[in-house]
Amino acid sequence: MYPVKIGTHDGTFHCDEVLACYLLRQLPDYKDAEIIRTRDPVELAKCDIVVDVGGVYDQKQHRYDHHQRSFKETFNSLCPEKPWVTRLSSAGLVYLHFGRQILSHLTGLEQGNRQLEILFDKMYENFVEEVDAVDNGISQHDGEARYTVSTTLSARVSHLNPWWNSDFQDTEEGFKKAISLVGEEFLGRLHYYQNAWLPARVVVEAAIQTRHQVDASGEILLLAQGGCPWKDHLFSLEKELKLDLTIKFVLYPDQNGQWRVQCVPAGLNTFHNRLSLLEDWHGIRDSALSQISGIPDCVFVHSSGFIGGNKTKEGVLDMARRTLEASYRCNANIC
């Protein structure tokens, strides 16, 4: 039986082909595959699968290059039910076609399982899409960045290439280190999402279902345990459950046994809140805050109004309720 070969280009390597090769090696069919780094079309023709080189994207032939002028594919163009419109790199192509199979093998979840599909989406949106965007030169924002981010996964992979003025220009050693680097990070992220982030979804959904027991408005969520990652679960579950009112505040205990009230942001990537805590409380602490608010045992309200603290659950609930009541009065033009 001939050895399985994965073909990719030689010379300077980037994060996308490193990740593509790593991902393929997680599959039983490719776990012992030899990686052939070459641009020679004769050698590439001998490979079972080719990524990031060769000028061809053809799933049937297992050719996954994205550099050809005609290539404009995104996750959305190939899978219209998915929202992402970032142009794919070799990493994104491999993930799109093999990702579910890879995650099933790594997590033990069967394909078709709802949890596997949630992980599949999360790992693309929060890991692979960044690699696609960086490799294709797509900025996160318009205009000049205010500061430089130089510690991304793509940047760290790039730094494993030989220096331009080094006498040693062999890239094989650096490529092997890069495989280990992206592999460790991919597995670490997947382990977190499967064993910490995904169980949080169950907690958040249960809290949504019981929110009217916390407050009749249904706009205050109570989490019995602090540290639970709730934001993206909350946004997705609000849509799935088709809530008639958006949730404005989340209450939870902190590490000191006290309680926090946190405002729900307007979106995942914004510091604007759906409703901030009362402006008169911003930046006030302890007894001064209790006096001005009329709520006992206050600890603080952040100067921007996005979070506050109280020694008791009843205290943070009252802080959220007072803010809601003030917003109702303003909406009725009597504030």
Q: What is the pLDDT of residues 48-89, one digit of tens each?
A: 999 999 999 999 999 999 999 999 999 999 999 999 999 999
Q: What would the two tokens of residue 137 be?
A: 């030169």
The pTM assigned to this predicted structure is: 0.87
pLDDT in the model for residue 30: 95
Which residues on adjacent β-strands are paired with residue 8? 37
Buried b (16+ CB within 10 A) or exposed e, 146-163: eeeeeeebbeebbebbee
What is the average pLDDT across 6-20?
95
What is the average pLDDT across 98-121?
97
What is the average pLDDT across 212-220?
97
Is a pLDDT exceeding 90 seen at residue 142? no
Residues 39, 9 contacting (CB under 8 angstroms): yes
Q: In what order do the strands lie in the sheet with 34-37?
A: 34-37, 5-8, 49-51, 63-64, 57-58
Q: Tell me how far apart the alpha carbons of residues 35 and 63 are, in angstroms, rounded to a whole number.
A: 14
CA dihedral for 54, 105, 80, 266, sign (positive or negative): negative
What is the average pLDDT across 290-295?
97
Residues 324, 219 contacting (CB under 8 angstroms): yes
pLDDT in the model for residue 335: 58
Q: Tell me how far apart the alpha carbons of residues 335 and 333 are, in angstroms, rounded to a whole number.
A: 6
What is the average pLDDT across 254-277?
94
Is a pLDDT exceeding 70 seen at residue 323? yes
The share of the chain scoring above pLDDT 90, in percent, equals: 89
State the pLDDT confidence band at 113, using cuts at 50, 70 and 90: very high
What is the average pLDDT across 165-182?
94
Is a pLDDT exceeding 70 seen at residue 1? no
Is a pLDDT exceeding 70 seen at residue 190? yes
What is the average pLDDT across 225-246?
94
pLDDT in the model for residue 148: 84
pLDDT in the model for residue 334: 62
Is a pLDDT exceeding 60 seen at residue 215? yes
Q: Tell me how far apart the alpha carbons of residues 271 and 149 are, in angstroms, rounded to a whole number.
A: 20
Q: Tell me how far apart the alpha carbons of residues 202 and 183 are, in angstroms, rounded to a whole number.
A: 28
State the pLDDT confidence band at 2, using cuts at 50, 70 and 90: low
Q: What residues have CB less than 8 Å from 247, skipping those under 6 apart? A: 208, 211, 218, 219, 220, 221, 234, 238, 264, 274
